[in-house]
Each structure stands twice: as C-alpha cells, then as structure tokens.
Structure 1
Amino acid sequence: MPASAPQPILTEFKNGIARLIFNNPARHNAMSLEMWTHGAELLEAFGQDDNVRAILLTGAGTEAFVAGADISKFGDERASREAVETYDRAVARFQQVMRSLEKPTIARINGFCIGGGLAIAIECDIRVCSEKSRFSVPAAKLGIGYAMDGIRRLRTLVGPAFAAEIFYTARQFTAEEAVMMGLVNRVLPEAGLDAHVEDLLSRISENAPLAIHTAKRALIELEKPEVAQDEAACDTLVLKCMESEDYVEGRTAFMEKRKPVFRGR
C-alpha cells in the first residue's frame, strides 16, 4: 500500500500546553486552503478545552515558521473568483479564531516568517525567534494590495513608520531588526530557542489560569474601539479571581514560602 500523505497540521498536548505545528517543510510550511481551514478548527478546539493553559504555534523542520501561501496550490485554490473568495474566507476565519482565543498564544519562529506567516505570528500574544529568522511582507513585489485590517494589525504592533517601511520596501528584515521594531519579544541563538520557549511555557502553565484569562480578555477588549470594549466583563473576571480557590492558594503559598499549585477554580 502507498504511504499515506503527511498531515499538513500536526498537534501535540503535554503538561497543559497545546502545540499546533504547520507541517509543510518541503515548501517552508507554506499555507494551503486545507491548512487554514483545519488550523482554525484545531485552534478553536484548543480554546474551548479547559485543560489547555497555553497554545504554541510553530513550523515543522528548521527552515521556516510559515513562508506565506503555497503557490503550488494556486491552480486549484485560486483559479476563479469564487475560489479566491473561499480561500480568503478561510484565512479570515483563522485570523478571527486567533483574535478571539482567551488562552495565551506563543509563536516559536525559526527561519522564514513571510507574508501570511507574519500575519499568523502577529496574531499571537508573544513571538520568540532564532537569530537566523527573517521577516517580510512581499505584497508590493507581487502587485498585491494588502487589506487595511492586516496593515492596522501590524501598525498597532510596530508603529506607523516601521509598518510603512515593511510594506513599502517588501524586503526581508533580520531578527535583530525585528526585535528593535517590537515585532518579536526575544531573539535567541538557534541552539537556545527551544530551552527559552519551554521555560516560557512552563512559567505560563504554572501560573493561575483565571488570572491569565483575565489579562488575556482585557488585551482582547483593548484591541477593540473604545465604544465597543466590554469593561464590565473584565471587571467580572477580576472579581472571579478574588473569589477563587486559586487566590487563596496563592496567598497561602506565599506565606508558607512554597510554590503554589493552581487548579483554575
């Protein structure tokens, strides 16, 4: 029997951390319609799972996070106006799921983070990359008009001047430039990337889930126009923390000079 085709999205779950792995290394993990669609479904499931403390997104192999769209699929996936609209809806759905996740999201970037890959990364709460990583939005080299929403997301992260440079030049930026712009949180030697990411995930997973959820919800609300922000919902979550068993455990552990054990209730 012929070998089955590799899964384009891989998942792992361990110690409260859900991992979503873009698995198209032969094409630098470039995204197909299937990857956008299935990825959104998996992320939505992670978001609804009370056992998940944080979500890590990364790419298979050692060359890329995600290097944009899979051009080899364009003949099928963008062959007509209707096909393009279907593809665009899948991308928009993936991004909307990312923005609504009330769990911490971390991008582990090792290599190319280009176009749609950068769009995925900037939807994450935290981005950590290796020194060899490269970042780019090549739309201007391809004659592609970039949607205002995507430009707004990047502008919010790096500011208008750097956003303009990224879109106008369409060049690749180094990891050092990316951290200087605020595009990533940390730059690590490739050999130390995983150790840093695992330490980050461990710290998040050991902290109080209700407190983290409260902070994440506030960050989601603050991305909205001020008139649409639900401050009352955030205040309710703050009160829930104060009334929780975890709050008692945190104070008790501090007084007893021991590590707290939080249970999310």
Structure 2
Amino acid sequence: MSADQAGGGVRLSVEGRVALLTIDRQEARNALDIGMWRAIPGLIAEAESHPDVVAVVLRGAGKEAFAAGADISDLRSALGNPAAGRAYIDAIAAAESSISDCRRVTIAGISGYCIGGGLEIAMACDLRFASDTSTFATPPTSLGVAYSVNSTRRLIELVGVGAARDLLFTARRIDASTARCLGLVDRVVAVTRLDEEIDDYTGELAEQSQYAIRLTKLVISQALGRPVETAALRQLRVDSFSGSDLREGIAAFEERRRPKFISRLLS
C-alpha cells in the first residue's frame, strides 16, 4: 500500500514500512526554494502519522544531485530585507528541526551534489548513506552568510571542530571518500548499489524494537546536548542579509567567478 503527498518540489511516498521524501527540482539540481523548505515539516509529520513506518529516507530526484543548496533567488530577495531574511532563516530551521526531531529513523540517501542547504538537510538526518559519485561542500562563507548554530553543531559532531572550521572557512568541495574519512557520511557505496544498501538497512531496522529505537534517539539527543542559538547571534545572521558581502557572493555565484569581498568585519 502506498500513499503520496506533494509539497511544491518535495514529495512524500509511503511504501510498506519506509517513507520516501524526495527533493524534486531537477532543473535546478534540486536546489531548495523557500516553499520547499516550508513543505518539509508537513511531509515529515505525514510520514510519522503512518504507524508501520520505521524509517524516513530522504533522496534527491534524478542522478545529478541530492540537493545543490538553497535557491539563490531567495537569497537575492532577502537582500536588504530583514523580514525576508528572518522568514528565510526560520523556514530552514523549521525544516531541519522536523527532520532531526522525527520519531522515526531518518536516512539521507545521497548521490551527486550535496551542497549548502542540501548538506544541512543531510546532517539533520540520523544517518547518511552516499554513493561514490557524491560531492559535498559548506559554502556559506563564499556567499557572505553563515550556517545556524544547529547546523554548525551537527557538522562539529560529525567531523570534529578542526575539520568543521576548515570546511566552513574555505567552502571547499570534498568527494565521498574524503567525506567518509572525516565522518560526514556513514557509508559510501557504488551508485548502482545505493538503493539496495538503504533497503537492506531499513529491513534490519524493521526487525528491531521500534519503541527502543525511538527511546534511543531521545537518549542520544539528551547525551549530546542541544545548544540554543541566542537572540543576538540570530540577529547577526539576519543582518548578513543586509550586507554587501551577500550581494557580492550572489553576483559571483551567478557569474561563475570567485567573489571579491571588501574588508567588512564584525564589530
């Protein structure tokens, strides 16, 4: 039995004991616009409403990308508009929280580009299975903005403080093998075996106590602790949408060149 629900470029299907949330905007390498971010919490809630579902698998449609980041046009729309900047930040935070707080096991099945906002989604999942064709990057500094505290904390938990600083400061891209060595992903398999690997794993999950799995998720969350983004830090992130750095970062992205930031520092 299957059920399908769509939410503006993101869709959910339920087949047996697995819910599949697919990011489907292939003409833009599955880049997420604000409508897609806003659709995710409802689709996660729909997946959780199925009592037999043991796992939610997040995938990108097509072969080119899991998700190649956030939609650059949303960043452009937020330039000089604090209200739009706050709405954008809040939409991403709500989507990530719905994934990280999901009562089912969440697995990112990554193939192709997993960049920026796409990596934020993947890091919010419990596990990340990647194909050997995957590429990863944390590009906010190349645009003049920053990840949230929650996304940054997830990155630090996965790769450690030093590697997180390196990836965030440089915005460099890494391949699947490097991502596995750093701990950014949990498994790397041939692209032709990714679906099979995920199917095998969700089959193992179905044999375990679902009560114990959900309890274990809560225990792990409690053990790790969850820092809260302060109002002052959140305001600094909102302010970045009114800065010249973001304007230059967007222009450089669209013109396919390196950005030339002027010297502007936090006071």
TM over 0.5: yes
Q: How does 1:181-192 map to 2 (within 5 A)?
A: 181-192=182-193
The aligned amino acid for 2:65 is: A
| 8 Å CA contact 1:33, 1:77 repeated in 2 | no
In 2, distance between residues paired with 1:145 and 1:7?
26
Which structure 2 residue ranges, 5 or more long, are not aligned? 1-5, 228-267
- Looking at structure 2, the residues matched to 191 and 47 of structure 1 have their Cα atoms a distance apart, in angstroms, of 29
| Aligned 1:97-108 pairs, distance under 5 A | 97-108=98-109
What is the deviation of 1:223? Answer: 2.8
Return the structure number with greater relative CO, CA threshold 8 A, min gap 6.
2
3-state SS of the aligned residue for 1:49?
coil
Give the deviation of 1:214 after TM superposition: 2.0
CA contact (8 A) 1:108 1:129 kept: yes
Q: In the alignment, which residue of structure 1 is the partner of 2:44?
A: 43
Q: SS state of the match for residue 171, structure 1? A: coil
SS in 2 for 1:62: coil
Structure 1 stretch 208-217 or stretch 111-120: which is displaced more?
Answer: 208-217
Counterpart for residue 30 of structure 1: 31
Q: How does 1:137-176 map to 2 (within 5 A)?
A: 137-176=138-177
What's the counterpart of residue 61 of structure 1? 62
Identical positions, percent:
33
Instruction: For 1:199-214, list aligned pairs within 5 A.
Output: 199-214=200-215
Matched residue, 1:116: 117
d(CA) in 2 for partners of 1:67 and 1:118? 8
Alpha carbons 1:78, 1:87 under 8 Å: kept: no
Contact 2:135/2:173 (8 A) holds in 1: yes
Looking at CA atoms only, which structure, 1 or 2, has the larger radius of gyration? Answer: 1
With 41-50 and 22-31 compared, the bigger mean Cα shift is at 41-50
> Does the aligned pair in 2 maintain the 1:53–1:209 contact within 8 Å?
yes
Secondary structure of the equivalent of 2:145?
A: coil
| 1:199-252 deviation digits (Å, cap 9, x = unpaired) | 1111112322122222222122223269xxxxxxxxxxxxxxxxxxxxxxxxxx
Post-superposition Cα deviations, 1:33-64, rounded to whole Å, max 9, x if no partner, equal 11111111111232343222111011111011
Structure-2 change in CA distance of 1:87 and 1:6 (3 Å): closer
SS of alignment partner, residue 146 of structure 2: coil
In the alignment, the residues of structure 2 paired with residue 154 and residue 182 of structure 1 have an alpha-carbon distance, to the nearest angstrom, of 9
1:239: which partner in 2?
Answer: none
Partner of 2:261: none
The letter for the 2-side match of 1:61 is G
- RMSD between aligned alpha carbons? 2.1
Deviations 1:94-149, CA, capped at 9 Å, x for gaps: 12212221210000000000011111111111100011100001112122233333
CA contact (8 A) 2:180 2:188 kept: yes
Q: Find the residue that maps to 1:127 and give its secondary structure.
A: strand
3-state secondary structure, aligned to 1:91: helix
After superposition, the Cα gap between the structure-2 partners of 1:220 and 1:19, relative to the gap in structure 1 and judged at 3 Å, is: same
**Alignment-derived partner of residue 234 in structure 2:** none
Range with greater deviation from structure 2 (138-147 or 196-205): 138-147
2:134 alignment partner in structure 1:
133
- Contact conserved, 1:17 with 1:205, CA < 8 A, in 2? no
Q: Distance in 2 between matches of 1:164 and 1:196?
A: 31
TM-score normalised to the size of structure 2?
0.78
Could you tell me which amino acid in structure 1 is paired with residue 132 of structure 2?
A: E
Change (3 A) 1:78 1:223: farther
Alignment: residue pair count: 222
